[in-house]
Structure 1
Amino acid sequence: MKQLKCLLLLFFSLSTAFCIAQDINLENLKKHVYYLSSDQMKGRATGSKELKKAARYIEKEFKKHRLSPKGTKGYRQSFEAKVRRLVVADSIRTAENIIGFLDNGAPYTIVIGAHYDHLGLGDFGGSKDPDNIGKIHNGADDNASGVAGLLELARYYSSNQVQEDFNILFIAFSAEELGLLGSKYWTENPTLPLSDIHWMLNMDMIGRYNPNNGLAIIGYGTSPQFPEIFEGIQSDIKFNLSKDGNGGSDQTSFYKKDIPVLFFHTGGHEDYHKTGDDAEKIDYQALKSILQLEVKVIDHSMKQKKMDFTWTN
C-alpha cells in the first residue's frame, strides 16, 4: 500500500509539473519584453544594428524550440524597406522577417505573427512625441508585447507533447512601422503556399490591457467558422469581437490575400509612439490571460476543416 501511495504521489506530481510547464509562462513574457524594449535596443528601428540584434534573439528562441527554418536563408527572409514619411539619407534599408515552422505533417498551417521593429529614435516619422525626437522610443507595448506572445506560443506548442492536426508558422515581421512592409513582402513572396493557410493570428500591442475597454479581437467576420470557434470560450479578461479584417497592422496583408484573420490588440494609450512606452508599464498578468485566450481560440480552430474566407467591407 505504501508503495502504491508513493507511485500515485509521483504520478500526480509529474502530471502537475507537466501541466505547469505547459501553461503560459509569466516570467518568459517579462524576460522577452524587458530585453526587446531595453534602452540598449534603441527602439529597434528598421535597418539598425539593434534590430539585427533583436532578430538574432528571436532566431535563437526559434532554434531553442526546435522550429524548422522557413525563410529563404535559414530563418531569415530579407527584403528592402523604404522610409516614405520623411526624407532621410538612408531611406532604403535592409529588413528581415524571421520565420520558424512547427511541422506536424499536416496539410494546412496556422500562421501566428507579430512585428518586432519599432521607431528607433523617432527620427524617420511616426513619432507622436515631437518634443522628444532623437530620444529612444522603446516600444514595449508596440510591439515587444506581441513578440513576447509570439515566442511564448512557439514554446508552448513546440513543447506540449501533442502533434496537432495543423502545422504552425511563426513569423516575426520587420518594417511594420514603415507601412506593413514585412507582412506585405511575405504574402507576396510566401515561403509556403498561401492556399495551405488555415488562418492567421496577429498580435500587435497586447500589453496595456484596460478593463474598461477590454481586448479587441478584430477580424471575427473574416470567416463563417469564427462564431463556432468562439462558442463557449471564456476568459478572465473582457474581450470584444469586431468583424473587420482591415486595420492598421500585419493581419491586413493576409486579409488582402483572402485569408481569415484575427488581430489581438489592447488599444491605444498615452504612450503610443512616444518615449514612455516602457516595459514596467506592461500588464503582464493580463498579457498572460490574452495568450491563454489565444490558445483556446487556436485549439478550437484545429477542430475545423480548412476555414472559408469572407470579405467584411
Structure 2
Amino acid sequence: MRKLLSVALLLAIGVACMQSPVDKVAKKITKESLMEPIEVLASDEFKGRSTGTVGEEKTIDYLVEKLKEYGIKGGMPDGSYTQDVPLLGQKTDQDAQVRINKGGDTIHRFDYYNDFMAWPSNLEEEVSIDEAELVYVGYGIQAPEENWDDFKDADLKGKILVVKNNDPSDDPELFKGKARLYYGRYDYKFEKAREMGAAGVLIIHTTPSAGYGWSVVANSWSRERFYLRGDESIKGSPTKFNGWLTKEASTELFESAGLKLEDQLEAAESREFEPVPLKGLSLSLDLSATYRKQDAQNVLGVVEGSNKRLNDEHLIFTAHHDHLGITQPVKGDSINNGALDNAAGVSAVLNAARGYKELQPQLKRSVLFLFVGAEEVGLLGSKYWAEHPTVHPGKVTANINLDGMNVYGKTKDIVLIGYGRNTVSDKIEKIAEQNGRKVKPDPHPDRGYFYRSDHFSLAKKGIPAVFPNSGTEFIDKPEGYKATVDSLQDANYHSVNDEINKYWDLSGMVQDVRLFFDAGYQILNSGEMQSWQKEDEFKQKRLEMIEKASSQQ
C-alpha cells in the first residue's frame, strides 16, 4: 500500500511539473476570484457607475486600489494610474414635443421618451425648428465602393432627414450581406446629416433593425450625454438636432404623407432609391439643454515585459468600467447596477492583470490594462485614449476587449466578434481547439457588434482587435436553457435588472477568462506582432501606424 501511495504521489508531482507556468497561474482564476469584484462594483453603493457621478469616483478609487494591491504599476507615462477624459455633459429638457404640421394645423404631437428622443447636436442651449420640411432618405448612405448613393444630389439643406436604421442586407453581394457595417451605425447617420447641411435627423427605430427595443434607446439617450471637449466637428454644426422616432410614430408620420412605412422601408433596399419628400408635412421642435464640464477617467495599469527588444510593444486588455447610473424607477428600483455590463468584464481584466504580474519574468512584451470610462455615452474613454495614446498604436500588438462575459455556465463554444479578421482571432481559435472548444463567428452580424464596443476605437487606429462574446452551446444545463438565457439577456440589457441573479453560474466565465489569459500569454511571447488579414478595412491603417512608430524611434 505504501508503495502504491508513493507511486501515486510521484505521478501527481510529475503531472504538476508537466503543467506550464501559465496553466498554474490560470488555475488561480476561479469563480470566487471573479465574483468578488463584480459584487463590489455592481452593489447599490456604486450607484450604477454613471459617468461624472460619485459612483464613477468610487469605481476609479476601487480599480486603482486593486492594481496597487497586485503590485501593478500605473500605466501613464509619469507612472500614475488615471487619464483624465475631458468631457462636456449635456442634459436635455424632457418636456419637449415633436409637432407634425399639415395645412397650417398640428396633426401629431409626439412625446419625448415615449415616441421620440432628440437632443441638440450643435451644443446649443436652445434649438428651435419651425415647420421644416421632412425628407425620407432611405438608409442615408453614400458608399462609392458599392456604387450606392441614397441622396442622389438632392438639396437637403435646412430639412429634416428621416432615416432607416442599419444598412442594406437583402443582397449578399452588397455591404457584406446581413453584416452591419459602420454605414449602419447611428453615428454614421448623424455625420451624414451634418455633411448634407440638414437641420435635423430622425432614425426610424425598429427592434429587428436596432437589435434592441425602444426602452434601450429611451434609457440611453434620455440620460446626460457627453462629448469630448474641443470636438469642433459638432460645435456650430448646421444640424440642430439628432434623434430617434419609434416605429409607431413613424407609421403615423408616413401615413399622414400618404405613404406606407413598410413600403418605404422596403424601397430603401434598392440601389435605385431616391429621396422621398414627405409632401405637405413639416416638423416643429423646441429643445432646451444645459451643459457642464466634467472629466471622466480611464484607469491604466502596466506589467512591463522582460525582453529589452520587445518590451516597448504592448498587448492591451480593455474593459469599460461605467454603466447607466440612476434612471427612471421600475417597480421602485432606479439603479442600473451593470453587473454583466460591465462589472463582469472589469473583473475578468483584473484577474488577468494579477496573473500576468505573477508571470512577469516570463513575459517578453508588456501588457497594458485599460479600464475605460464613458463607454455608455459613445465609447468616449477609448476614443480619447486612441487620440491621446500612452503607447504608440504602431507599438500595440493587439487588443482583447472584454465587455460582458458568460455568467450562465460552461459552453462547448465561444463567439468571437471579429472572427477571422486578424491573427488574434487565429490564436484564440487554436487554443480553444486544444481545449476541445469551438470558436464561432458573430451569430447576429446584422447588429454590428464590432462597431459597438471599445475595441472599435483601437481598431480605427490599426490595432488588431477582437471582442469575445459568450458561447451558446451550454453544457449540463436543462433543455431550453439557452432560450432562458436569451430572454434574461434581453430583459436585463441596459435596465435596472442587470444584477447578479439565481441563474448566474461563473464556471463558464472561468473557462473563458482562462482561455483569454492563455491567448494573451502567447501573444505577449510571440515572435512577431499580430496583424489584420490582407483584405480587412483596418489593414492599411495598421501599416501606416507601424511605419510612423518606426520613424519615431
Q: What TM-score do the two structures reach when normalised by structure 2?
A: 0.49
Q: Give the C-alpha shift of residue 270 in structure 1.
A: 1.9
Q: How does 1:197-236 map to 2 (within 5 A)?
A: 197-209=396-408, 215-224=414-423, 226-227=425-426, 230-231=429-430, 233-234=432-433, 235=435
1:28 corresponds in structure 2 to 33
Deviation at 1:221, TM superposition (A): 3.5
* Kept in 2: contact 1:121–1:134 (CA 8 A): no
Q: 1:39 to 1:225 in 2, by over 3 A?
A: closer
Q: How big is each residue's C-alpha offset from its partner over 1:160-203, in whole Å with a ceiling of 9 and x where there is no partner?
A: 36421211000110000010000000010011111110000000
CA contact (8 A) 2:412 2:436 kept: no
The counterpart of 2:53, out of the listed 33, 44, 48, is: 48
Aligned identity (percent) is 27
Shift of 1:71: 2.5
Out of 76, 81, 104, the position equivalent to 1:75 is 81
SS at match of 2:86: strand
Q: Is 1:62 aligned to residue 64 of structure 2?
A: no
Instruction: Measure, in 2, the Cα distance between the counterparts of 1:297 and 1:121.
Output: 37
Q: Aligned pair in 2 of structure 1 residues 287, 212: CA closer, same or farther (>3 Å)?
A: closer
The CA distance in 1 between the partners of 2:415 and 2:326, in whole Å, is 29
Name the residue aligned to 2:515.
Answer: 293
Distance 2:355 2:520 in 1: 12
Measure the CA separation in 2 of the matches of 1:298 and 1:197: 13
SS across alignment from 1:195: helix
Shift of 1:227: 2.7
Match of 1:261 among 455, 465, 470: 465
Structure 1 position 52, deviation (Å): 0.9
1:307 maps to which residue? 530
Higher strand proportion (structure 1 or 2): 2
Amino acid at match of 2:414: L
CA positional deviation for 1:112: 0.4
Residue 121, structure 1, aligned to residue 326, structure 2: yes
Q: Distance in 2 between matches of 1:87 and 1:141?
A: 20
Is the contact between residue 140 and residue 282 of structure 1 (CA under 8 Å) also seen in structure 2?
Answer: no
Extract unaligned runs of 5+ from structure 1: 124-129
CA positional deviation for 1:41? 0.9
Task: For residue 420 of structure 2, give the secondary structure of its aligned residue in structure 1.
Answer: helix
Decide whether the 8 Å contact of 1:222 with 1:245 is kept in 2: no
Task: Within 5 Å, give how 1:144-163 maps onto structure 2.
Answer: 144-160=343-359, 162-163=361-362
Distance 1:47 1:72 in 2: 24
- In 2, distance between residues paired with 1:240 and 1:290? 14
Q: Which of 144-153 and 287-296 deviates more? A: 287-296
In structure 2, the gaps of 5 or more residues are 91-220, 225-289, 471-485, 538-553
Q: 1:100 aligns with which of 301, 304, 310?
A: 301
One-letter amino acid matched to 1:278: E
Q: Report the TM-score when normalising by structure 1.
A: 0.83
Q: 2:387 aligns with which of 176, 182, 188?
A: 188
The 5 A counterparts of 1:166-177 are 166-177=365-376
Q: How many residues align?
A: 303
Q: Which has the larger radius of gyration?
A: 2
2-side partners of 1:87 and 1:41: how far apart? 17
Contact 1:209 1:215 in 2 (8 A): no
